[in-house]
Amino acid sequence: MGLLDKLFGKTKENETMSNVNLAVVFYSMSGTNYQLAKWAEEGAKAAGAEVKVLKVEELAPESVIEGNEAWKNTVEATKDVPVATSDDLEWADAIIFSVPTRFGNMPSQMKQFLDIQGGLWANGKTINKVVSGMTSAQNPHGGQEATLLSLYTSMMHWGAIIATPGYTDPVIFGSGGNPYGTSVTVDQDGKMVEDVEGAVKHQAKRTVTIAEYVKKGQQ
């Protein structure tokens, strides 16, 4: 392995990966975070992980969703995606969360999901999960880092191991350069502004790799 590979955390080409279970848990109102979740799935599968893509339960009243075309379309597009459960988290060695920024915070739907994991937490089942977060926002400085920090605050209470991308690969610079986790700006038409597909896949691979180190270390 060359010096640059070491600096950017590249694995050796012939390195075999033990099987890591990864849950990608997302909330999405207009499809962005669903797309980020699917890219994470691709990246993690390419890294040899067993992957489940899961949504959190919708909490908004039907009457509100009905009046919003993009929201209705996302509900339809994700209707066959299973709702995440505590059992899924117990199964997972690693979890990637993907959430839109809501007033500089995670959406209540994701907060509710975290808040109903008290039983899992009380039984020590959240300890040593390797976790990482992704987000989107309408503005380039609309609170992305704050959203990820809100998620990571809860993860510290879980005893989880937070695996951020940092600047571990050149692809991060091209995607907007958020070391807290991949984040993307979404324009008025709901289109992603930065090209973050590579950064998401790198983050997924890195999360799987770190989970693999943790799993091997525990054996």
> Using CB under 6 A as the criterion, which residues of the chain lie in contact with ligand FMN when the complex forms?
28-33, 100-104, 136-139, 142-143, 186
Q: Is the Cβ of residue 126 or residue 136 nearer to ligand FMN in the bound state? A: 136
Q: Are 97 and 134 in contact (CB under 8 A)?
A: yes
SS3 state at 184: strand
Of the pair 123, 139, the CB lying nearest ligand FMN is at 139
Q: Nearest distance from residue 82's CB to ligand FMN, in Å?
A: 18
DSSP letters along 86-107, please?
HHHHHH-SEEEEEEE-BTTB--
The structure tokens listed for 136 are 């989107």
142 or 165: CB nearest ligand FMN: 142
Cα 40 from chain centre: 7
> What does the alpha-carbon distance between residue 5 and residue 2 come to, in Å, rounded to a whole number?
5
Residue nearest ligand FMN, Cβ-based: 142
For residue 33, the minimal CB distance to ligand FMN (Å) is: 3
3-state secondary structure of 32: helix
> For residues 136 and 209, which CB has a smaller minimum distance to ligand FMN in the complex?
136
What is the C-alpha to C-alpha distance for residues 19 and 22, in angstroms, rounded to an integer?
10
Minimum CB separation of residue 5 from ligand FMN in Å reads 34
For ligand FMN, the closer CB: 161 or 186: 186
| Minimum CB distance to ligand FMN, residue 78 (Å) | 10
**CB contact set of 177 (below 8 Å; sequence gap of 6+):** 167
Rounded to a whole number of angstroms, the minimum distance from the CB of residue 95 to ligand FMN is 18
